A and B are shown apart, each in its own frame.
Chain A
Amino acid sequence: MATGFFTDTTICIGCKACEVACKQWNQLPGDGYAFTGNSYDNTVALGATTWRHVAFVEQMAPPEEPVGTSRWLMMSDVCKHCTNAGCLEACPTGAIVRNEFDDVFIQPDICNGCGYCVPSCPFGVVDLIGHADYPATRSFESDGRSTDDALQKHGGIAGKCTLCYDRQKDGLVPACAKACPTESIHFGDVDELKDQARQRVATLRASGVDAYLYGVDEDTSVGDLNAFFLLTDAPGKYNLPERPVLPSTHQRAGYTSAAIAAAALTLVGFALFRATK
């Protein structure tokens, strides 16, 4: 069974309980107290130790328009757990795997921090955990945590949403979905979630809301997303790519072009080194 998230942005209230629940369950360090001044979003983006991020878009009407035409869009962003995952394909150690729940998981004891998954994610999700993110002076072993956990906490490896692999193994709902007070974050079997989401889109459209699904039935090289979204504006406004492209689709052209260049110059070299004095 493939599990995933259906995040319905129309009922998100931007409370960030998902961000907090994720940090708590996964024992991730805080993001500091930066103030962006952009909107009620001071987390800014997903990161190596920030696995849920609530985007908060303020769309204020120009003063000429009547009151009531301004609106807020809130979206709890997360790793998409793509059908064709760029990070998984790029990983040279096999640290990034697809687990039994069909989710993309980084094995923290295998990853050696080469960083190739970072530019290979078309959604800008995965990042390297800095050694400074976790104070080295803390003794993790004495906290009674597992060695794997301690290894991860010392940084230097890639980090992203695990879709609460540990909780799923125990039959629990991921922390973010559990904490969401409006059930904007639905967790479950992806096929069932898709049916539910299509119905929700139909309901919203019937009542005049321009809603659509992001990451379902789209013709992109990353395929369907295990964590997909119901949006009411263009993807770019939520900082999602309009058209994500799977990086490995560039390989054939690249290898061909390199081979042609190298072979042509080698042939020229043969001619030069054999025929000239």
Chain B
Amino acid sequence: MSVDRDAARVPIAPMHDAGVIDAARREMRDLAPDNARFGVAGVGLPPRDATTYYEQPLLKKPHWEWEVIVYLFLGGIMGGSGILTALADEHGEDAELGRNARYVAFALASTCPVVLIKHLGRPERFLNMLRIVKFKSVMSMGVWGLIAFSLPATAGATAQAARDGLLPKQLRFLRFVGPRAITNPLSAILGAFIAGYTGVLLSATAIPVWAKGKRHIPAMSACSGIAGACALNALLLEIGGNPNPVTRRRLERLELVASLAEAAVILDFRRHAGTIGDPFFVSKHGRKMEIATLLGGIVVPSLLGLLPFHAKWKTSLGSTLTLVGGYVLRETLIEAGKDSADDPRAASRQPE
């Protein structure tokens, strides 16, 4: 497009000649491209009553990448597995489940710290986390909770390994280090904390969508963690051989209850959050969450569980879908937090 240079030239006027300047401003507006973003003079300036600062973000985005997403996901399963050790009827049908859940809890308690240390800006300084115990800092509570959880988890798994004959003969005495009557309830209590606190970690921030979910996000984290633990343990038992059908049914039912509770919390959060919840619900992340978590991770496994027959593929598929749904839920929470930080309107009147 060619521009008529004479028409585009702004007249030079003495400052007191208001009429000429007004004419120039009108001319500038008329010449501005139709797609000019702001509008008074049509020359890219925001209107005088603009409520934000050039639409710039007010808050800083959390710098949390896959490491934190993986931790939120694994931490939930770890905590849920701790609960399962206490639920399993070890002298009855669930002996295999108790054994399995202890190994899972130990494996995840060993993995999570590595992932967490990896995400630090200065990993060599991770021990600085242990300088203090700080009740006001959710992350400090999480670090100590994780350490506390790893004690009964490690003791329980070591004793289990000794009982299973996995340790050399000289170490068989270790079967006395983790009496189940002590390690199981401790794993359950600390596991419940781990599964839930990851939600508090997010909601106790200034990020609008997280802060708005101060009641919902911790609850959905706990529910999703327990459902994920049921799914992973069922999957591992299925892979490991023929699990006791009674245990399998119990796991399926607990997973169903936890998943439905999780769905109820997510849907109630949608109602409660309004437009502040848009980054979580109405976005490309939101669509992924609806498909992978609500539909794939909750509805489909629940329907599979209702089928009146048993098949290995059914349990394996349902469990895998539940796990994928749990991961996508955490991923969506983190990504929605980043988008929410970019919205200066939501950040201006912060959720109480």
* Chain A residues packing against B (C-beta within 8 Å): 36-39, 44-45, 55, 57-63, 66-68, 70, 86, 89-95, 110-116, 118-129, 131, 155-158, 234-245, 247-251, 253-266, 268-270, 272-274, 276-277
B215:A119 contact, CB within 8 angstroms: no
Q: How far is the CA of A4 from the CA of B345 in the complex (A)?
A: 28
B261:A118 contact, CB within 8 angstroms: no
Q: A277: nearest residue on chain B (CB-CB)?
A: B246
B7 interfacial by beta-carbon distance below 8 Å: no
Q: Which of B22, B57, B122 contacts A113 (CB 8 A)?
A: B122
Q: Chain B residues near A60 (CB, 8 Å)?
A: 40-41, 45, 48
Which A-B residue pairs are the 6 nearest by beta carbons?
Answer: A113-B121, A258-B196, A156-B121, A239-B53, A258-B218, A254-B200
B197:A258 contact, CB within 8 angstroms: yes
A-B contacts, 24 of them at CB < 8 A, read A59-B48, A62-B47, A66-B22, A89-B136, A94-B131, A94-B132, A95-B128, A111-B128, A115-B63, A119-B205, A119-B210, A119-B337, A128-B63, A236-B348, A243-B349, A250-B203, A258-B219, A259-B192, A262-B83, A265-B223, A268-B257, A269-B83, A274-B89, A276-B250
Chain B interface residue count, Cβ-Cβ cutoff 8 angstroms = 100
B136:A86 contact, CB within 8 angstroms: no
Q: A36: nearest residue on chain B (CB-CB)?
A: B54
Q: Chain A residues near B56 (CB, 8 Å)?
A: 38, 44-45, 239
Q: Given the known A-B contacts A124-B59, A244-B350, A245-B206, are A258 and B89 also in contact in the complex, defined by CB atoms under 8 Å?
A: no
B254 interfacial by beta-carbon distance below 8 Å: yes
A269:B22 contact, CB within 8 angstroms: no
Contact segment of B138-146, B176-184, B274-282: B138-146
Give, as a whole number of angstroms, the nearest-CB distance from A156 to chain B: 3
Q: Given the known A-B contacts A113-B121, A258-B221, A273-B250, are A39 and B54 also in contact in the complex, defined by CB atoms under 8 Å?
A: yes
- Chain B's interface: helix, strand, loop or mixed, by majority? helix
Q: How far is the CA of A63 from the CA of B93 in the complex (A)?
A: 82
B18 interfacial by beta-carbon distance below 8 Å: yes
Give, as a whole number of angstroms, the nearest-CB distance from A129 to chain B: 8
Encoded as 1 (CB less than 8 Å from any A CB) or 0, chain B from 29 to 68 comes to 1000000000011001111101111101111111110000
Give, as a whole number of angstroms, the nearest-CB distance from B11 to chain A: 14
Q: A246: nearest residue on chain B (CB-CB)?
A: B206
Q: Given the known A-B contacts A113-B122, A259-B192, are A120 and B18 also in contact in the complex, defined by CB atoms under 8 Å?
A: no
Give, as a whole number of angstroms, the nearest-CB distance from A225 to chain B: 15
Q: How far is the CA of A66 from the CA of B249 in the complex (A)?
A: 78
Q: Chain B residues near A91 (CB, 8 Å)?
A: 134, 137
Q: Which residues of B168-217 are within 8 A (CB) of A?
A: 188, 192-193, 195-197, 199-201, 203-207, 210-211, 214-217
A254:B40 contact, CB within 8 angstroms: no
Residue of A45, A120, A261, A274 with most chain B CB atoms under a 10 A cut-off: A261
Q: How far is the CA of A158 from the CA of B60 in the complex (A)?
A: 12
Q: B206: nearest residue on chain A (CB-CB)?
A: A122
